[in-house]
Structure 1
Amino acid sequence: MIKLALGYCGLSDIEVEHKSTGEIVKGKTAYEVVINSTCICIQYNIHIDFNEFNTVVSIDPTKFRKIDDYQCSVNNEDPVFTEAPNVFKYAWAIMFDLNPIYSTIACS
């Protein structure tokens, strides 16, 4: 966590929002995920807890890519901003908890 004059930046500044799209794909519910950072600094190299994530649809690996059995990278490890969030869809029987577990913060 980095202390700034205006407060702190950390994993709590990474927002992961889920919502059902209302679509059914290959018999599974489709979900849209929006990931952004509300940190006033640049937040990149974001990793999300994999949590046994699965999907019946392809996800662009530059948006969400499995690194190992425990984590995925977001946005090809490039910065994520509120104005330009990382958005992808998946389809599975359940909605997965996707929690940030790591990021790099750069402040000028």
Structure 2
Amino acid sequence: MFGDMMNMMGKLKETQKKVEETKKRLDTVLVDESSNDGKLKITLTANRTIKSIEMADELLEDKEQLEDYLILTLNKAIEKATKVNEAELAAVAKEGMPNIPGMDLFK
């Protein structure tokens, strides 16, 4: 029984290390999102750090319109990046979790 606990602890530490490595790797995974008409393009990492914002010059002429574009497009980009982030981290966590009866959280 003690050996099983040591094995589980080792597996958990290994999984924790893989999760940290995955988080670092997600800093290099880029997610692009554009407004429906292509006037605004946002790129962020899967860890939800904004890397670039490109916009048509005409958006600079109307503050309210620019704000609306930014809100809508940023929210879509963050949602997309969050899905990538959660899927990647869940896959690593599921792969490394020991088989503990009743603890099937990632199925």
TM-score when scaled to structure 2?
Answer: 0.28
Higher helix fraction (1 or 2): 2
Higher strand fraction (1 or 2): 1
TM-score when scaled to structure 1?
Answer: 0.28
Question: Which of structures 1 and 2 has the larger relative contact order (alpha carbons within 8 angstroms, sep 6+)?
Answer: 1
